[in-house]
Chain A
């Protein structure tokens, strides 16, 4: 789960990471009230998960209440690279002496957290990594040892931060690592990490990704939402415990297991079709999960045909067949379905479907044939 800047900063504040004081706002009036409380000059910042939103007009400085009102009015509802701005973050404008970059990343390759620090903050760090990799100090942390004070100093010296802020920058890294571990994040990134003229270290931005699998231990994080990135079908699928990603085409896809569903998308595309979604009904898909899945797929009005591609391991094909019959009774789909069942209890599943003789349901023996058929039916 990717957090918005203000959600990340509120998380930071809980762990003692210094951030400029700010307030979230969802309307112009709320924004002005927040600005009045914080004082001027203040920054009015669009809350969308897009890098470089400042250059796209999503961040403005207000010198007084009238400007705060104008900027909030202009930014709320604005479209930034396809995302609508529903929320603002109003914070006190910061004086900047230096801009650094800091992050803690879940490094899958090394199977350890990776802490990075660079004095070349405020710009695209991937570009920095490309043209001048030595400008980024990196350190893998043994998660059983944890991030020690000397790690912080070492990174600060290696990155070449100003001598007078070596210690506070190191302490900042320790706090970011603490956020990473205790909130079970997979990414904590601050760009820029600023040094003020008073030589204080502050997180001017916050990019935090949380591990969805650990949200049961963090109920307060589980409730965070990003309205700008929410798609109604994705929301509906999420509420029903399904893994659904909306795509642009007209062929609804349901499969079991992420890899097989991805492969199904590729094969459908290879057959000349355009998938409307990714939907993994998951391991052990029971009949009610299939009913939910059919409802979610058909809630997208663009869908003109649906492909079920099931290879049962933990999933039992007879359960899938029964679920499909139940879904047909409840939802009465108006579009054709192509069904391919293989694996655990596949013979029973196919027999159940043959007996039910559902209208507009075609069965195919192989994935390639099923993909070709659904592409033909979708037109």
Chain B
């Protein structure tokens, strides 16, 4: 098993005809993901390396049975594309686009949660990889193999770093989920922890947080109350100065809130081990699960 994406995923990419949209959609297909359609308004009827392009997401759903959408359109159009996917009945919307206006994100999130029929991952995230099954997004899949460690992270490249450290120790992954570094993630740590807790393949959960907000603190409370599987955490930004936005729109230390130290303390208080470097995370995973058999 795995979570969110697998062999049943039928992917439509919005913004497929852009250079990045094309590049990563084809990489996802090469990995084995069933890519059934692309959408670019005005380019319906064309195809991208054999993938049919439609003018609307609704058409991609009707004609190709798409159930998962990858959003690759520029930031000013991204919320519109997310809502179009939602209205078309797409169940899983994975928004890669970085730089979406915060208020657009807030509205899109509120509408999706009110209607309750779709799950949004991201925006500003690297996507979801279930090794050996499907890759939706920009995660470099060659570094990861199937296994029993679930990874959830607010940061893309940090996910690869931590995932790679785990791979060096011989660990594989059930799924790797990038929830994104924006202020209003469609899916948060708690949602993904819930999915991993219920996933029989996942035996250990690695959670990568960063400064800003209180998502890690809330996750710590949730883990204590609802997660029986071992969890190892990593927090980026111990040396980040207060008041400076560190790249991600969500990564800012305001006053005494949102510091890496406070997050690590909150997690450790609930019995979650926190690695101080990505390498240490892999070592902690070893101490929980033992050296992987293969």
Residues of A within 8 A of B (CB): 106, 108-109, 111-113, 126, 142-144, 181, 184, 186, 211-214, 216-217, 243, 245, 247, 255-263, 265-267, 269-270, 275, 278, 280, 282-284, 311-315, 342-344, 366-368
Contacts and interface: CB of A to CB of B under 8 A. Distances in A.
B159 to A, nearest CB: 8
B283 to A, nearest CB: 12
B118 interface: no
B229 interface: no
A184 B79 CA distance: 15
B43 interface: no
B95 to A, nearest CB: 13
Contact of B156 (A108, A247, A313, A342): A313
B126 A313 contact: yes
Contacts of B102: 106, 184, 186, 211, 213-214
Contacts of B236: 259-260, 262-263, 266
B213 A109 contact: yes
B253 to A, nearest CB: 11
A283 B20 CA distance: 10
A267 B277 contact: yes
Given A213-B102, A275-B239, A313-B126, A262 B247 contact: yes
Query: Closest 9 A-B residue pairs measured CB to CB?
Result: A259-B155, A258-B247, A257-B157, A259-B158, A214-B101, A260-B157, A262-B236, A280-B247, A262-B237
A243 B277 contact: no
Given A262-B155, A314-B138, 20 more contacts: A108-B215, A109-B215, A111-B113, A181-B103, A184-B102, A184-B103, A216-B76, A245-B241, A258-B247, A259-B154, A259-B156, A266-B276, A267-B278, A278-B246, A312-B140, A313-B139, A314-B20, A343-B140, A343-B160, A368-B277
Contact of A266 (B103, B238, B248): B238
Interface string B146-173: 0000000111111111001000000000
Given A111-B184, A126-B255, A266 B114 contact: no
Contacts of A260: 155-158, 160-161, 236
Nearest to A214: B101
Interface in B196-254: 208, 210-211, 213-215, 218, 234, 236-241, 244-251
B106 interface: yes
B7 interface: no
18 contacts: A126-B255, A143-B107, A144-B107, A217-B76, A245-B246, A247-B241, A259-B153, A259-B154, A259-B208, A259-B248, A260-B160, A262-B155, A262-B240, A262-B246, A263-B234, A311-B164, A313-B156, A368-B277
